[in-house]
Amino acid sequence: MTKIIGLTGGIGSGKTTIAKHFASLGIPVYIADDEAKKLMDNSEIIAKLQAVFGEEIIENKKIDRKALAQIVFQNPKKLKILNSIIHPAVKKHFTDWLSTYKNHPIIIKEAAILFESGSYKDCDSIITVTSPLEERVNRVMKRDNASRESILDRINNQWTDEQRISKSDYVIINISVNEALKQAEEILKKLNNS
């Protein structure tokens, strides 16, 4: 039976780098955030989001993600509503995706909010990627051309590293990418032998 390995970490921790490394080793990887973004182009989801958040999040009949992010990352109640619309769609998509890879011994499900969404319950093991706060902020500022303040808003809306680590089976400390990739490979050996 396929083992579902959850891979999580806060924004800018390097979890996507680790996920890509696992994929380069031939392991199927599902990146929940990417799939959620694609699902936001679904007309049914657009209609639901527009009904809740209004016209200001629509641009050229698509979701203006920046406008939506500004609304939800400053209002935990609205973030909860957004998640209640997106998470069931992602969960269904993941189940369909998983059926394609049922002959693989291990698959990786990468999700920033694996715990907050409750999808950790579907995982056999969980890996958390951590990185120092300043490094995370700097990475995201470069990557997303975002302000420090907006990044800290997002970080404050996610679980802390301590919370994630307390519920994880493995932890990758990402200070040096090469070291983090070595840690990932060590974890993979353990997973293959368990």
Write out the two tokens for 73. 């990352």
Is 16 marked within a binding site? Answer: yes
Is 14 marked within a binding site? Answer: yes
Is 10 marked within a binding site? Answer: no
Is 17 marked within a binding site? Answer: yes
Residue 73 · residue 146 · CB < 8 Å? no
Is 15 marked within a binding site? Answer: yes
Is 13 marked within a binding site? Answer: yes
CA distances to 29, 43, 89, 140, 183 from 40, rounded to whole Å, are 20, 8, 10, 22, 34
CA distances to 47, 50, 174, 192 from 179, rounded to whole Å, are 45, 44, 7, 20
Annotated binding site: 12-17
Cite the annotated binding site for ATP by residue number: 12-17
